Structure formats: structure tokens, C-alpha cells
Amino acid sequence: MAYVSGQPEQDLDIATGRSTRPLRVLQLGPAFERGGIQRHILDLTDHLRDRGHHVELGGSPGPWGREGRDVGFHALDLKRVSEDERLSMTRRLGAAMGCAQKLRKIVARGRFDLVHSHETAPALVARLALAGQPTRRLFTFHGSTPERYGGVARSAQFAAHVTACPSRKTLDELIARGLPRARTAQLGLGVPPPPDQDPAAVLALRQELLRDGQGVLIFSPARLDPQKGIDVMIDVLARLVKVRRDIVIALAGHGPLADVLSDWIASAGVRDNIRVLGPIDTVPLHMAAADFMLLTSRWEALPISIVEAFHAGLPVIATDCGGVSELVSDRVGRLCPVGDVEGLTAAVLELAGDEGLRKTLGANARALAREDRFDPTHVHERIEQIYRQMLDGVA
């Protein structure tokens, strides 16, 4: 059944008979901290606003979104619903109901055509808030531990009219667990190329991180969280330094493991070979200074950081989880099983010892990054198309 908006239809496309009027969209994220999901939400918001659509945001406040400071931002404690394991299930459900009541009022005031939720907690809260309402609901799943896929598939079927995912492999996992294929859509992973970096700044950073400017610099932008396998990375580094003392890992990110990380590093005896940078706003500069990138994740969907590395011409060594195999192959780097310390160590030593190989892989990576599936405009237009199809009753 075709969706009927509360606003009069106008600006019909003559060829398709579909409305081209500006849309009113509310995007929900768990928390507006620094991270790949938040980057995606903000980049999509900028695109939609540039196209004349009205877009507002909702979620737990953070450095990238605060009520009263950022235009169209609504504070909703969705992080408490999704992550606060100190709360009992009863109290988390109570938090969800509180968010849903607030969200229902926000949607009514904003007269939104569509609510686009990123991750399961926002999607479930939107479902509770909009029960019996005509507002359409899109859910983008950005990945989780494989053990959660069954629950995510059930939540998606209950909470969303359409479920989208950047990774084909991850989306197929949800379909295999009962999510109807007809209610799914695959997205690309739009990542803009970085601005050109000042060669002098690149050289200065490289000399700072390597201390004498000599050696092999590996960059790893990774949240300090069990998901990212930081313990595996340190085990790999401990093996590497027994063979080569000139390898340095620059680890950028923050998270719950920050308090124990220094103890891990000291126990492994790798203090001189790792630079813990914390959260940084200079990822393109650090990628320009590095020789290749390393990710040791236990699970992913499609990491934005890998495509950023490709744009920078960096080879990538990564673990084969989620949709990573849709990005990384022997043409652009090396793919290793999750937790395979020996395989990761061998891959690092291979690239560290062959500058010509790094250049070849880096050139291939830069070429791959130019494919449409990584072009932000192409991907954002695809999402806009999904919005239109949902509102026209096609999806």
C-alpha cells in the first residue's frame, strides 16, 4: 500500500510519477561520539541537507552532537538502552520506553516522513514510539558479533520496514536467520578521499613516531574495545620485535580498554614499539605517514578506516571477519583468520620487508577506492532512492 504523507504531494517527476518534494528525515544513532557510524550519519546528513531535505538527529550527546549547540539535534539516552549493562533488563526496558515517549513527541512536532535508525537500540525505540503511525522506519545495521545475528534479524523484522547494510555478507547472514530478503537493501560505503597532506608535516610526523625517522610505521585506527582485538595486536607486536626492532605501531583511538592497555604493553615488553595516540583528528595525516595499516578485529561489518587507507594508497592487513573480505584481498594487502597471531605476524613481516610490494599493493588499493561502491555521492543517492521507494510503497 502506498504511503500517504501528512503533507500535500507536489513536484512530481513526470517520467516516474513519483514525488520529488523535499523529505523530512530524522536520523537516530546510539551516541554521537567519535566513530565510523557517527561519521556515516553526519556525512549522510550533510548530503541530504545539500539536496534540500530537512534532516534532524537524535541520540545520546557526545563530541559530534549536542542539544542546543547543533542545529536539529535531540538528546535521547539511547546509549543507556543499548550499552549500559549495569542496568537490569527491566530498567533498560524502562529507559527504552522513556526514550520512545520522547521520540514520539519529537516525530509529531517535526512531521517527519521517515525515521532512519542506525543500530538495533534506536530501531527498537523507534518501533515503540511509532506504533500505529504512518512514519516509515529504515534500519541500517553496521555490524556486531556473529552471536548476535539471530537477535538482530528478529529485531529488524519487528522494528523496521526495510533493513539496510553496507556489507553484502553481513546482510546475507541476517537473511539466513529469517529476515525477509524483500525487506532488505545493500548499501555501499561512501568514504570521501582525504585532502592532500603537506609533505613536510608528513615527514615531521613520521620522524616523531619513529623517533629517528628510520624503520617501518604501521598505523592502526581502532577503538580500544574487545571487538578490535587490541590484545591480539600486542601479541603480534611482541613476536615482531623479536625479529625486527625497527617496527612501530601507532594506535589511535579510545575506549574501555584504555585503563589496562599500558599494563598489557608493559607485560609484552613492547613499550618502545607502540605509540598510543588516543583519539585523534588527524587520521589522513597519520595514514600518509604510515607504511601500511593493521586491523586485528574480532568482528566488523565494513570498516570505514580500510577505505580511508585505500584512498591514502596504504596496503591493509586485516582479519577475515564480517564484510572485511569484501574489501581486503591479496591485491591490496593480506587477510588473516581472526585471532591468528602467527599469520598476522608473518603478513606484517612480509610487507615490512618489501617496499616494492607495499608500493604495488598501495597503488592497487588507491585504484580500488575509486569504485562507485566507495563514492559518497553514489552511496548517499542510493540511500535517498531507498527513502523514496519506501515512501512510494515500493519498498
pLDDT at 18: 54
What is the chain's mean pLDDT, rounded?
89
Name all domains of the chain by residue range, CATH numbers in brackets: 24-190+375-391 (3.40.50.2000), 199-371 (3.40.50.2000)
Element (H, E) at 125: helix 120-129
pLDDT at 15: 45
| pLDDT tens by residue, 62-97 | 776 666 566 788 988 887 777 544 545 667 778 889
Residue, of 213 and 122, whose pLDDT is higher: 122
Rounded to an integer, the average pLDDT of 280-303 is 95
Element (H, E) at 102: helix 89-110
Look at residue 360 and give its three-state secondary structure.
Answer: helix
Give the confidence band of 177 by pLDDT, cuts at 50, 70, 90.
very high
| pLDDT tens by residue, 314-357 | 999 999 998 999 999 999 999 999 999 999 999 999 999 999 99
The residue behind cell 587507507 is 309
Q: How far apart are the first and last CA of the chain?
A: 10
pLDDT over 90 percentage in the chain: 72
pLDDT at 37: 82
Task: Tell me the pTM.
Answer: 0.83
pLDDT at 289: 97
Give the confidence band of 212 by pLDDT, cuts at 50, 70, 90.
confident
Rounded to an integer, the average pLDDT of 186-210 is 94
Contact of 226 with 147, CB cutoff 8 Å: no
Rounded to an integer, the average pLDDT of 155-181 is 95
In what side-by-side order are the strands of the sheet with 114-118? 73-75, 54-60, 24-31, 114-118, 136-140, 162-165, 184-186
Q: Choose among 350, 367, 359: nearest CA to 315.
A: 359
pLDDT at 7: 39
Sign of the CA dihedral with 111 first, then 116, 193, and 229 last: positive
CA count, 13 A, side-chain hemisphere, 395: 24
Highest averaged pLDDT of the listed ranges 20-34, 78-92, 113-127 = 113-127
Give the confidence band of 6 by pLDDT, cuts at 50, 70, 90.
very low
Indicate whether 294 pLDDT > 80.
yes
Rounded to an integer, the average pLDDT of 193-204 is 95
Distance CA 104, CA 119 (A): 18
* Sequence-separated (6 or more) residues with CB below 8 Å from residue 101: 129
| pLDDT tens by residue, 221-263 | 999 999 999 999 999 999 999 999 999 999 999 989 999 999 9
Residue, of 18 and 124, whose pLDDT is higher: 124
Residue, of 235 and 6, whose pLDDT is higher: 235
Rounded to an integer, the average pLDDT of 40-63 is 90
pLDDT at 134: 92
pLDDT at 229: 96
pLDDT over 70 percentage in the chain: 90
Distance CA 380, CA 311 (A): 18
Distance CA 203, CA 200 (A): 5
